Structure 1
Amino acid sequence: MLKILISGFEPFGGDAVNPTSELMEALTQEKVEGAELKTVLLPVHFDECADLLIAEMQAYKPDVVIACGLAKGRTAITPERIAVNVKDIPSSSYADNQGQRPVDEPIREDSPDGLFSTLPIRSMVNELTAAGIPAAVSNTAGTYICNNTMYRVLDWIRLEQLPIRAGFVHFPASTEMAVQQFSVPSLPIDMMLDGLRVMIRTVVHTAKG
């Protein structure tokens, strides 16, 4: 039985909802053959988000971590290829939920400039598109909370020399959000939940083979 820890985020940036928090709630009712699922909702705050996720990893001891976040403006589900060792919020963007706005700061001193996802991201995208769900590999997780979380998790796994596969997936805005912001690309939450199911099954199948 593969133990999979999946995380989402609370709302941020002035939005009342975050589709990844809705996905975490929906997953509490999910059963996936060959997998045991656990979810956690993270705060949008440097570096509390990663601290909480790593604490959950220490307690749960998962085989796989799939961290999920919102990338408003994207048109597809996008597994991330790499996280970079920087946290930077430009003045034109919003601060985190505690008002912090780091600029050009390393996430971890003396750690690598970048760390790659160890999830089967290409297989995940192939399975998503085969299921009729818009998907693509992304080569930038940004420099905000999502990148920060992905980097810290991968760096902790590296330092502890653990056999945990981990990475990050960005989701578009939900249709519910687009009702209030009609120009924002969106996907129905049901499609995003189907996409998360596909990615979980892909992780299980690739672990077997």
Structure 2
Amino acid sequence: MSNKRKVIVTGFEPFGEHAVNSSWVAVQELEQLGLGEAVELYVREVPVDYQAVERLLPSLWKELQPQLVVHVGVSGLATTVTLEQCGHNRGYKRLDNCSFCPASQCCMENGSDCIDSVLDMELVCRRVNDSDIGVTVSVSKDAGRYLCDYTYYTSLYLGRGHSAFVHVPPLGKPYSSRDLGRALQAVVQEMLSLLELDCTEEERKTQ
């Protein structure tokens, strides 16, 4: 049996003005770079489609039982690689690629308004910025009430907070695909090291 930690990283398909979605390009770069010998990395492209997300995420969590799922999306407003601390349940009014949006305008009918990641994004951000990889990382608490936020909230709900969301700028504004891949690699590795610390703390408490 493999003792490798399983990590899923997803990017989105093209939508709107994003004929090339830098999130999926960055995830493919990360797949080339890998996350080291101890990690089994799975990557998936996610449709910009509320109903597809509803079907896809439960199957990913159930089948692979990952330690961490990191979703990556593009933001036309972003100029840094942005770590999202939380996902929101309500306010989904914008139509997806199939001209659909949920009638309830929310992810989970009885879910709380907001779910935080178990990861301290400020700490991840500081560590990556201190490592001086040539890409600036920042933190946000508003993933935008579209498919990014919807996917994040759903994943946080299914994974009991063991999920993360990273917004990346469009390609060349200012970073190349290689830059974004390296930034994702650094971010996910820091997230994994924090989860490892938390596990060690929990083990200590139960001994």
TM-score of the superposition, structure 1-length normalised?
A: 0.83
**Structure 2 runs not aligned, ≥5 long:** 198-207
Deviates more, 1:8-17 or 1:95-104: 95-104
Q: Is the 8 A contact 1:47 1:148 kept in 2?
A: no
Task: Describe the superposition over 1:73-120 as per-residue Cα deviations: whole angstroms up to 9, x where unpaired.
Answer: 111111111111114236xxxx31111245771221111011011234
Unaligned runs of 5+ in 1: 159-163, 176-184
Partner of 1:173: 170
Superposed CA offset, 1:125-177 (max 9, x none): 1133222321111010111000000111111234xxxxx721211111111xx
Which residue of the other structure, out of 149, 155, 158, is the alignment partner of 1:156? 158
Q: What's the Cα RMSD here? A: 1.9
Asked if residue 84 in structure 1 is aligned to residue 88 in structure 2, the reply is yes
Give yes or no for contact 2:33–2:181 (8 Å, CA) kept in 1: no
> Among the aligned pairs, what percent are the same residue?
25
Instruction: Pick the aligned partner of 1:10 from 4, 8, 13.
Output: 13
Seen in structure 2, the aligned counterparts of structure 1 residues 50 and 119 have a Cα distance that, compared at 3 Å, is farther
Are 1:200 and 2:188 an aligned pair?
yes
SS, match of residue 110 in structure 1: coil
Please list the CA deviations of residues 8-55 of structure 1 after superposition, one character each: whole Å capped at 9, or x if unmatched.
100101321001111232233333233111111100011312421321
Which of 39, 42, 62 aligns to 1:58? It is 62
SS at match of 1:174: coil
The 5 A counterparts of 1:38-187 are 38-89=42-93, 95-101=95-101, 105-130=105-130, 131=132, 132-158=134-160, 165-175=162-172, 185-187=173-175
* DSSP-derived class of the 2:156 partner: helix
Following the alignment from structure 1 to structure 2, what is the Cα–Cα distance between the partners of residues 104 and 142? Answer: 17
- Identify if the C-alpha distance between structure 1 residues 208 and 70 changes in structure 2 by more than 3 Å, giving closer, same or farther: same
- Equivalenced residue count is 191
Moved over 6 A (4+): none
- What secondary structure is seen at the aligned counterpart in 2 of 1:47? helix
SS at match of 2:192: helix
Mapped to 2, the partners of 1:31 and 1:143 lie a distance apart of 30
Inter-partner Cα distance in structure 1 for 2:24 and 2:35: 19
Specify which of 11, 19, 24 is matched with residue 22 of structure 2.
19
Conserved? CA contact 1:45–1:145, under 8 Å: yes
Query: Which amino acid letter does the alignment assign opposite residue 169 of structure 1?
Result: V
- Could you tell me how far 1:203 is from its partner in structure 2? 2.0
State the match for 1:178 in structure 2: none
Separation (CA, whole Å) in 2 of partners of 1:124 and 1:47 = 31
